[in-house]
Chain A
């Protein structure tokens, strides 16, 4: 998953942030095709959308009042302000990502712990053809490595295919692919999930009710994700489909293969995003050249809504329409010039709650932080696997959860420092894996012994 900043992406032109912002009407948000991959969950083509886009909102630089200072000084001042705003916004953005990641993990862990279906072995995907039911450890290891190689190659092929599609502007194909996969997720997988949950709790539901529920859920989901809808509803749907996808992975990936795949995917993510010829990086650059927004349904966006008073520039009354921001934030924003570029992502904008008169009010959307849905999926796979296989131990799950959150925090910190596309998987997954294996093997016996004697450390 790539984190990227939209502001200062043009490294070639020696313009300061402000001019590059002003010239680019809507700072482009690269569209990542491989986001599509992940949403083809249907036949579980196991693509991960990995993009964490953290688009810095243009308001950093929009303090346009300093017009007479010399350019280098202003650049320095702007840069300082931007850095500081980065940090200040950084904490908020980190929390805006913590909450959905936590919610997704909670849904996955709750399901794993209560619904037996997702922990039963019921066959494997075609992407992991080698079985792990072998007598010897070496054979099992070999099989899991082979499974991983197959899975990763499928992902690479799909990513490259998507890059090609995007390069040659086959947008309809991509759209159709996306819609098909979200259809499958929202209807088929939800139906299976609902069926299993009802079975677990022994609740009877007749088919008409079921059809009504699934139809409404799926239809509203399709509209919210692919078209317009309230931001929070869209976020909720994205979390739900990520959780469903993660559950499918947890069920159908064999034990050791899952861990090796997690490790291999983080390495692939690192290479695909940072290497100059990496497919994801090429995707970023292509999208930036074309100034195009990202396809929906691949990215979780935590965009906020701001209303700006245009007719009265000095008051610059900013009221957030739906989210409540603390007064410090508001105080910060009051000196932003109202003419700062607004974001794109019209699909993201929630339905306006009051009529807009073009003279007086302009609804602007501040781009929040973006995280690819593939990141959600793989984080949840790690925590879900920990919950499913760690000998019934909750400590392991908790440790993996904290490790992943800290990894995400570090990734966002690096993003604020480097201001370019960054992969979101490596750090978190590495921490998660380390903590999973060490907590399961080292901490668990220690804590169990302490608990049996009721000792406290």
Chain B
């Protein structure tokens, strides 16, 4: 335990997100604000869903195990739906903001596009979601203890870190997909995002059978990544050119 596990799990869970933040978001103040506002919206959605769950639990019999389990499942699903609802609300807000920015700019175009906002909003949601899932675990990992001493899985911290990482990525891609669907009025994209989110959350019910939760989540992440890449204007050709460090239309040259 202690420092090694702490740093390992922190970097597994938040390393990629931190890299995304540093290289794409930290330079632009507007993006940082959008990120924090995205985190705020996720937080509000969590607050409301916890309120509902809390009321339901207080109104029910605490000794009835299956009822509590049912309420928990209901809580999780309701929270997922509420998160997506708040993503939609955030989309509406950002749309208004873009109109404001366009109106105020001198050359008639906004300093940031809706696609960039979608990406940053997704990262905001993901970071907050990951932080809320992981921070308490990391704080506990710093102290002494033995994982799984009562017969639970010994991989608890590690799998939590991997799950957090995949969730952050998924939120990022869902942000792009969702906003794209809202922009172009493609409802099936929006429903796909909601269904994917429900699927990922539902798969975590298989824990501690980690094959049932991590593997589908990573597969879904790969699918969402490809889809988001295609929607953002990427293609297999672009990818090949990027990997071979080609300039557009030129023959392969040694990359710089």
Contacts and interface: CB of A to CB of B under 8 A. Distances in A.
Interface stretch (A156-164, A218-226, A301-309, A447-455): A447-455
A316 to B, nearest CB: 18
Given A402-B39, A453-B207, 16 more contacts: A87-B100, A87-B104, A91-B29, A95-B32, A394-B139, A406-B36, A406-B37, A445-B50, A445-B54, A445-B57, A446-B75, A454-B208, A455-B72, A456-B167, A456-B201, A457-B79
Nearest to A95: B29
A326 interface: yes
Interface residues of A, number: 41
Interface string B23-52: 000011110110011011001001101110
Contact of A456 (B30, B40, B101, B204): B204
Contacts of B246: none
A95 B30 CA distance: 8
B143 to A, nearest CB: 11
Interface in A404-443: 405-406, 409, 435, 438-439, 441-443
A366 to B, nearest CB: 16
Contacts of A441: 54
Interface stretch (A47-55, A77-85, A230-238): A77-85
A81 B106 contact: yes
Contacts of A442: 47, 50-51, 54
**Chain B binding site: helix, strand, loop or mixed by DSSP?**
helix
B53 interface: yes
A402 B41 CA distance: 10
Given A94-B33, A455-B204, A456-B167, A326 B27 contact: yes
Nearest to A80: B104
Nearest to A392: B139
B26 to A, nearest CB: 10
A450 B51 contact: no
9 contacts: A87-B100, A88-B111, A95-B32, A398-B131, A403-B43, A409-B33, A442-B51, A453-B207, A456-B164
Q: Which 8 A-B pairs have the closest CB atoms?
A: A95-B29, A446-B50, A84-B104, A454-B207, A91-B29, A394-B135, A442-B50, A91-B30
B80 interface: yes
B104 A83 contact: yes
A228 interface: no
A337 interface: no
Contacts of B54: 441-442, 445-446
Interface stretch (B1-9, B155-163, B182-190, B233-241): B155-163
Nearest to B44: A435
Nearest to B166: A456
Candidate in A81, A94, A446 with the most chain B CB atoms within 10 angstroms: A446
B79 A409 contact: no
A454 B160 contact: yes
A402 B40 contact: yes
Interface of A: 80-81, 83-84, 87-88, 91-92, 94-95, 98, 326, 328, 392-395, 398-399, 402-403, 405-406, 409, 435, 438-439, 441-443, 445-447, 449-451, 453-457
B232 interface: no
Candidate in B76, B83, B205, B208 with the most chain A CB atoms within 10 angstroms: B76
Given A402-B128, A435-B43, A442-B47, A454 B159 contact: yes
A83 B105 CA distance: 9
A392 B138 CA distance: 12
B149 to A, nearest CB: 15
**Chain A binding site: helix, strand, loop or mixed by DSSP?**
helix
B60 interface: no
Contact of A446 (B53, B100, B129): B53
A402 B29 contact: no
A450 B76 contact: yes
Interface string B120-138: 0000000011011101110
A454 B156 CA distance: 8
Candidate in B29, B49, B57 with the most chain A CB atoms within 10 angstroms: B29
Contacts of A409: 33, 36-37
Interface in B44-78: 46-47, 49-51, 53-54, 57, 72, 75-76
B133 A451 contact: yes
B177 interface: no
B200 interface: yes
Contacts of A92: 29
Interface in B179-203: 200-201
Contacts of B50: 438, 442-443, 445-447
Given A394-B136, A398-B135, A442-B47, A457 B128 contact: no
B72 A449 contact: yes
A405 B204 contact: no
Nearest to A94: B33
Contact of B43 (A94, A399, A457): A399
A395 B208 contact: no
A443 B208 CA distance: 23
Nearest to A397: B135
Contacts of B131: 398
Contacts of B83: 457
A447 B132 contact: yes
A99 to B, nearest CB: 10
Contact of A405 (B36, B106, B200): B36
A94 to B, nearest CB: 6
B6 to A, nearest CB: 13
B132 A395 contact: yes
Interface string B80-110: 1001000000000000000011001110000
Contacts of B135: 394-395, 398
A144 B104 CA distance: 48
A153 to B, nearest CB: 35
B106 A84 contact: yes
A87 B159 CA distance: 43
Contacts of B167: 456
Interface string B206-217: 011000000000
A453 B72 contact: yes
Contacts of B39: 402
A451 B33 contact: no
A24 B160 CA distance: 60
A65 to B, nearest CB: 14
Candidate in B54, B137, B205 with the most chain A CB atoms within 10 angstroms: B54
Nearest to A328: B111
B43 A393 contact: no
